[in-house]
Amino acid sequence: MKLSCKQEELQRALSHVSRAVSRKSTLPVLANVLLKTDDSSLKLAATNLEIAISATIPAETDQPGETTVRADLLTEFVASLPNDSVKFELDTAGQSLALECARSKAHIKGLNTDDFPELPAIEDGQVTATIDPRVLREMVGQVAFAAATDDSRPVLAGVLCEFQGGKLTLAAADGFRLSVRSADLTEQTGEDMSIVVPARSLQELARIIADQEEAVQLWVTPNQSQLLARSGSIEFLTRLIDGHFPDFRQIIPQEWETRAVIGREDFLAAARRAKLFAQSNNDIVKIQVQPGEDELDPGIARVSAQAAETGDNEDAVEASIEGNESQIAFNGRYLTDILGVIRTGDVALEMTSANAAGVIRPVGDTEFTHVIMPMVIGSS
């Protein structure tokens, strides 16, 4: 193997690929990054057996070949190099990779590729769906945080991905909250289907497509065991979770007794202040909504928290309220989590009672719904 490529492109590719490197595996090759050349490109890949990431960059190749070298060492070394051409040459007998850039030279010991897992690739005609990377990234950010963080029920540590009628719907629930977001696909070429993707995997995919402009192509393997995604020169692979995701549509309340429309930024600021006081009281943040006297008198949403050890606080936030005076309490972190990922100026809080789930929606956006189970509060 003998080639040269640009340091800047190599560094960017390594920054993506190295995120899939295994940190704990007993298999040494999984701590390495695969380097594989053809006539005009260099492919880099890494995997931890749950996800795999590959990136392809232009290269001037004198001699094709492949090897694997320690990902952390190569990544840090390349990052330290000047923005110049990087030359590679592999001694296949000793699996020693020589690198040269400007006045810097190095030799990195490698391992042959025999034990590196073979990674499937998306072939033409196999794409299930295509979506704008900015849309997918926003969807993941608004849903994946609601997935469970433990593996006691593996399916709840995943995100339901439902491809149906030209739409993609993501849903995640941890038993205390549910987040659902839908968006139009650019194209759906495969049949309708539902899969469950590990939340961590989707969050990783969202990170690596952050600087991508090309559409994300998605492909589910025929046995529905893996999801592949491709955007530009980057490919991402993740295993899928085997299991039945709960019927999330049955969880979403269809009616409300009280609906309060509140400015998102004011609501979020009030919730963050209340959360400071709620930390020593099970993170309980109370919301009490009071309608105005008439159409000219705005209603009020009082966001408060109290704890014997720290004290108490209350913020009064203007709100447009339909229905009767009502109150509900949420986990403060859950409340700030959802308010932090909504993009509209106003949010709607819908309640039926203090003991029933509350619903938070962005005003003017019917594609995003969040449900939070209430916390028990005493009478005031």
CATH level 2 (architecture), domain 2-115: Roll (3.10)
Q: What is the pLDDT along the chain (380 residues), one digit of tens a residue?
A: 999 999 999 999 999 999 999 988 889 999 999 999 998 999 999 999 999 999 999 999 999 999 999 999 999 999 999 999 999 999 988 899 999 999 999 999 999 999 999 988 777 667 789 999 999 999 999 999 999 999 889 999 999 999 999 999 999 999 999 999 999 999 999 899 999 999 999 999 999 999 899 999 999 988 889 999 999 999 999 999 999 999 999 999 999 999 999 999 999 999 999 999 998 889 999 999 999 887 777 899 999 999 888 899 999 999 999 999 999 999 999 999 999 999 999 999 999 999 999 999 999 999 999 999 999 875 44
At 125 the pLDDT is 60
Distance separating the N- and C-terminal Cα atoms of the chain = 75
SS (H, E, C) 92-151: CCCCEEEEEECCEEEEEEEECHHHCCCCCCCCCCCCCEEECHHHHHHHHHHHHHHCCCCC
CATH 3.10.150.10 spans which residues of the chain? 2-115, 129-249, 252-372
Helix (H, G, I), strand (E, B) or coil at 59: coil
Helix (H, G, I), strand (E, B) or coil at 189: coil
Q: Which contacts of 117-125 are long-range, i.e. CB under 8 A and separated by 24 or more positions? A: 117/47, 117/49, 117/52, 119/45, 119/47, 119/52, 119/54, 119/237, 120/221, 120/226, 120/228, 120/237, 121/228, 121/235, 122/217, 122/219, 122/228, 122/230, 122/235
252-372 CATH: 3.10.150.10
At 78 the pLDDT is 98
At 298 the pLDDT is 80
Amino acid at position 139, single letter: M
- Read off the pTM: 0.93
Amino acid at position 264, single letter: R
Under DSSP, the state recorded for 271 is H
CATH of 129-249, one of 2.40.37.10, 3.30.479.30, 1.10.540.10, 3.10.150.10: 3.10.150.10
